[in-house]
Amino acid sequence: MTRKRLDAAEIDAALVTLPGWKRVDGRNAIARSFVFKNFNEAFGWMTRVAMHSEKLDHHPEWFNVYRSVDVVLATHDAGGVTSLDITLARTMNSLILKGQEDQAVRS
């Protein structure tokens, strides 16, 4: 997958298809906050994301407290958002389990 930095129009077009994701002010990155029912669901989701991240060789910046996970995605060697970040954001959204959608789709 390419590590070419996306331009603003490409990022905006991708964000339209990524519920809950937004641009990060002052930085070429995208972010989303996920809130789960409890710590086990949050950590389980993080574990599933980690497995996909390893396959992509692309890893998120994230912060977890109890049932909340804040994520920022940017490709450091490209200096901003690339298709890898969009792919990982889609994967993160798709890995929300049934019954977690109402909780996790907060931004």
Domain ranges, ordered by start, for the chain: 8-104
Residue 28 in contact with residue 80, Cβ under 8 Å? yes
Task: Render pLDDT for 11-62 as a digit per residue (tens, 0 to 9).
Answer: 999 999 999 999 999 999 999 999 999 999 999 999 999 999 999 989 999 9
Query: Per-residue pLDDT for 102 more than 90?
Result: no
Strand positions, DSSP E, 1-107 = 22-23, 30-35, 61-65, 68-73
Q: Give me the numbers of helices (H) and strands (E) for the chain, helices first please.
A: 4, 4
pLDDT at 107: 42
CATH of domain 8-104: 3.30.1360.20
Residue 103 in contact with residue 35, Cβ under 8 Å? yes
Within 8 A by CB and 6+ apart from 75, the residues are: 3, 5, 58, 81, 82, 84, 85
Residue 24 vs residues 33, 39, 54: alpha-carbon distances, Å: 12, 25, 24
